[in-house]
Amino acid sequence: MLKLDFHPAGRHFLQIPGPSPVPDRILRAMSYPTIDHRGPEFGALGRSVLDGIKKIFKTQHPVVIYGASGTGAWEAALCNILSPGDTVLMFETGHFATLWKKMAENLGLKPEFLGLPGIEGWRNGVQAHMIEERLRADTGHKIKAVCIVHNETSTGVTSDVAAVRRAIDAAGHPALFLVDTISSLACVDYRHDEWGVDVTVSGSQKGLMLPPGISFNAVSPKALAASESATLPRSYWGWKEIIESNKTGYWPYTPNTNLLYALQEAIEMILGEGLDNVVARHVRLGEACRRAVRAWGLEIQCLDPAVYSPVLTGVMMPDGVDADAVRKVIYERFNMSLGMGLGKMKGRMFRIGHLGDCNDLTLMATLAGCEMGLQLAGISLAESGLPAAMSFIAGESELAGLRAAA
Ligand SMILES: *Cc1c(COP(=O)(O)O)cnc(C)c1O
């Protein structure tokens, strides 16, 4: 039998942009015994997580929790509100936006895929003005939904959701607004209600610090109303029965009890740190990481500084260097996993995750591992990236300390 040693000395550095490392507190919470999912204790757990998760999405409306990966919640969002043959406007920002579009095709929808030409589209954010223009031209309101990915995990670009909301409003178009926050929730500022999002899709294994296995639809009253007349087939994904059952803290079927323990713990951790502080920490780590990449003399994958991701940083390799060979050196030598280039970016870049249970020193160690690995792979760096990241991080925390003392 193949024997794999998953437990070398120290922690594995899981610096891919999801799944992100699961904190010990959450792993311990998951180890509580599985209970009767129809019993009274379960109802209390259900009500607690269903209520708590609303604070993370910043919504007063129902959040549906599925026992599925993020991809399942993508499908749920589409099939609850749309009908066969409906036109949906989607925006190409990278690999995940492309997969969601393929799913729409598979479900019998007609996606229109807007985007900047060529590789530009994969190095920039959603262009709200293009959406506005397209919606203005759609005078017959054939477009039923606008779908965007908030944080494009394949590239390291965080698009401006509020700007897309403004674009839809400026065009005076009634389309529903769907946002994938699978890798941005609990990392990046997000406001489901305030930004008028109709369905927010999210997942467990990125900012929420849980293992893979549950995912979410936050649902607006407008989306709920649309689901009454939408005719795409749905059964397991149907919101109605789940939301009805959720009112008392239960599900119509057996939910993922142990992941709900984990979710309860994660919500407590995030709200304990303060959602705004969690977001600020991600912003700080993203900036520190980019300073190191620039000092190395390497190119950041995202071309537009206005949409740099606080969740991960895509690092372009010099011409002729295979990014996957560099990742292999780092994995074998330093026990650290980095994200690979996906789709159009395969082999051309690697991705450094700095999300979830990640702090200043986690990032510094990650950057040290990258720097040593890049050198071992024979890439000549302009200079060390560590001093740039360190002085930024130290300066930042010093300032925070001074502010707190004032
Ligand atoms: C991870 C991810 C997905 C896919 O989620 P799974 O849990 O792998 O099904 C979709 N969209 C984005 C933006 C992601 O980061």
Compute the distance from residue 149 Cα to the ligand 1 centre, in Å: 10
Let me know if residue 2 belongs to a domain.
no
Q: Could you tell me if residue 237 is inside a domain?
A: yes
Q: What is the CATH number of the domain that holds 278?
A: 3.90.1150.10
Domain that holds residue 239: 24-271
Q: 4 in a domain, yes or no? A: no
149 CB within 6 A, ligand 1: yes
Q: What is the Å distance from ligand 1's center to 70 Cα?
A: 5
Q: Give the domain-ending residue among 253, 271, 289.
A: 271
Stretch among 60-74, 196-210, 388-402 having the lowest mean pLDDT: 388-402
Structural domain contains residue 147: yes
Same domain, 192 and 246: yes
Would 1 be classed as within a structural domain? no
What is the per-residue pLDDT across 141-191, written as a single tens digit (0 to 9) for each? Answer: 999 999 999 999 999 999 999 999 999 999 999 999 999 999 999 999 999
pLDDT, one tens digit per residue, over 186-241 is 999 999 999 999 999 999 999 999 999 999 999 999 999 999 999 999 999 999 99
Residue 134 resides in a domain: yes
Instruction: Judge if 112 and 232 occupy the same domain.
Output: yes
* Ligand 1 contacts CB of residue 255 (under 6 A): no
213: alpha, beta or left? (left if phi > 0; alpha if psi -120 to 50): left
Is 351 marked as a binding-site residue?
A: yes
Domain match, 84 and 207 both: yes
Q: What is the pLDDT of residues 71-111, one digit of tens each?
A: 999 999 999 999 999 999 999 999 999 999 999 999 999 99
User: Are 322 and 219 within one domain?
Assistant: no
**Ligand 1 center to 73 CA (angstroms):** 10
> Which is more confidently placed, 141 or 344?
141
Task: Judge if 285 and 369 occupy the same domain.
Answer: yes
**Is a pLDDT exceeding 90 seen at residue 7?**
no
Cβ of 211 less than 6 Å from ligand 1:
no
The structural domain count of the chain equals 2
93 in ligand 1 pocket by Cβ < 6 Å? no
69 CB near ligand 1 (under 6 Å):
yes
51 and 180 together in one domain: yes
Q: How many CB atoms lie within 10 A of CB 319?
A: 6
The residues near 42 (Cβ < 8 Å, ≥ 6 apart) are: 35, 36, 249, 250, 257
Distance 99 CA to ligand 1 centre (A): 9
Domain end point (choices 271, 301, 326): 271
Residue 5 located in a structural domain? no
Domain end position, chosen among 238, 271, 304: 271
Greater model confidence, 41 or 397: 41
pLDDT in tens, 14-59: 999 999 999 999 999 999 999 999 999 999 999 999 999 999 999 9
Residue percentage of the chain with pLDDT more than 70: 96
Residues 229 and 311 in one domain: no
Tokens for 294, please give them: 């620039």
**Residue 197 shares a structural domain with residue 257:** yes
Domain containing residue 67: CATH number: 3.40.640.10
Cα dihedral across residues 157, 115, 122, 96: positive or negative: positive
- Secondary structure letter of residue 208 according to DSSP: T
In a domain, 7, yes or no: no
Give the number of the atom of ligand 1 that is nearest the alpha carbon of residue 215: 7
Residue 19 beta carbon below 6 angstroms from any ligand 1 atom: no
Residues 259 and 395 in one domain: no
Tell me: cis bond preceding 19? Omega within 30 of 0 counts: yes
CA of 46 to the centre of ligand 1 (A): 24
Same domain, 154 and 297: no
What's the half-sphere exposure (Cβ side, CA atoms, 13 Å) at 94? Answer: 24
Residue 405 has pLDDT above 80, yes or no: no
Residues 243 and 138 in one domain: yes
- DSSP secondary structure string, 95-126? HHHHHHHHHHHHTT-EEEEE--SGGGGGGS--
Whether 239 and 252 map to the same domain: the answer is yes
Q: Which atom of ligand 1 is nearest to the CA of 205?
A: 7
